Structure 1
């Protein structure tokens, strides 16, 4: 146990003296982990294609409470992107070399991450239907909060003059982040090619994804997103950023299982060798078949 704690102290900054950051580190893991368990239990996010669709007899929501799906996703992603970009452009980065570089890299990675999401929403993904404002706004607040707190934690760590971890993982983090962002974008592009319709209002149609790592797992875009968040955590090396990465992993694990089960229910010929999230691994994600 002492060896584990020594290793942790060697890769993670001592937490800054902030009750907010400490509390949100726990809240982030618990809330995202709970969201993953909800996905495992079949309680899906309302914008998900897995969620139960309202019946014809159900009264439609007032028009003011619904947004076109593309607009809803822009509402979800844009504030976080603007927060990261504003921090990158407005904060002073001329302090200590290591700390200043780390803050700049964290801000840049978050800005790139959410810029990619906005870009994909505008030019890659195909959408149909609407998204409830009551769904888009909480997601937006969540992404904005995570982005702001990740940067705020880095600033507190820098201002507290906490000693650098024994192992500098910034370079590894940058490489892992770039792999994650590129792999996620590529597989989102492949997914967009499967959709035969979108904003034109026609009935949407789904197919079993092919190409890239879709030949091995049904959710390679989730796998690469997880890698991207761990890349940010390695750049940051704060406890909060690692908690975000762990929480994101737990959520996307549950989400990937829900995705695989959905495809199994829709396609009789779904290839059994295609796992949920990790290639070649047969584990709890696939044991509910």
Structure 2
């Protein structure tokens, strides 16, 4: 996959791998399409959007939300951990990227086990789709980094900037997940309008910080695949955030503060 020469200041040359090239195209196109579907009201079937905007499948096997989310994140965490144990003597950038991915998904697993509160279920089809997306993207990002080890480094080194963005993203994401988890008292299942932190400005600040975390990992990596997947993730979470805001407006009506945006304060 050829890229403009100016981008080679920021990116490693694409490795000669049909698999990575194919996954780059699939990643950005499938996630962008998923974001567009969210805007059209055809949602991924989990959390508050279970059975919303899709034909109800009476016989579809369902998992509890907790077990579904564990499936979302655990295989990707294991891929990241295995890459650190199996690929010895790698360069600093590889170790930083694999560590960031491992920490990201370990955090998500720990949140599922010890932080989040649950009130629903997740369809098996959605569970498989999301699990494959996270697992394959994690493996491909690490593999693309491995293939780039002998390629010339980009002239502009973004990895330390990326570490900073990743840390801001993971801390901000956890903080707003903590606020969400504490909205409900023990035994409560009803949704409430979140307040506190950036929830006073946007309804999905946890998505904003998740994007910052992925941009940070893309800057650590500086491979074309990492930036392609991150771009697709931005499109998907933008669509999901806008759909979430519309869901709150429909559910709470005039009680929902109209000045609260989707996920970018004062803008979107």
Q: TM-score, normalised by structure 2?
A: 0.93
Q: Find out whether 1:106 has 2:97 as its counterpart.
A: yes
- Spell out the pairing of 1:1-289 with structure 2 (5 A cutoff): 5-52=4-51, 60-61=58-59, 65-94=61-90, 100-158=91-149, 161-196=150-185, 204-267=189-252, 268-281=254-267, 285=268
Offset of residue 51 of structure 1: 3.9
| 1:49 match: secondary structure | helix
Query: 2:97 touches 2:142 (CA, 8 Å); kept in 1?
Result: yes
Q: State which structure, 1 or 2, has the greater radius of gyration over its C-alpha atoms.
A: 1
| 2:156 match: secondary structure | coil
2-structure distance, mates of 1:14, 1:53: 42
Query: 1:93 touches 1:103 (CA, 8 Å); kept in 2?
Result: no
Q: CA RMSD in A?
A: 1.9
Task: Name which of structure 1's ranges 133-142 and 71-80 shifts more when overlaid on structure 2.
Answer: 133-142
2-structure distance, mates of 1:81, 1:229: 15
Offset of residue 76 of structure 1: 1.4
Deviations 1:135-166 (A, max 9, x none): 212211111100000000000111xx110000
Q: Count residues in correspondence.
A: 263
1-structure distance, mates of 2:124, 2:195: 33
Offset of residue 90 of structure 1: 2.0
| 1:209 match: secondary structure | coil
Unaligned runs of 5+ in 2: none
1-structure distance, mates of 2:57, 2:112: 29
Offset of residue 133 of structure 1: 2.2
2-structure distance, mates of 1:236, 1:52: 37
Unaligned runs of 5+ in 1: 95-99
Distance 1:103 1:250, change over 3 A: same
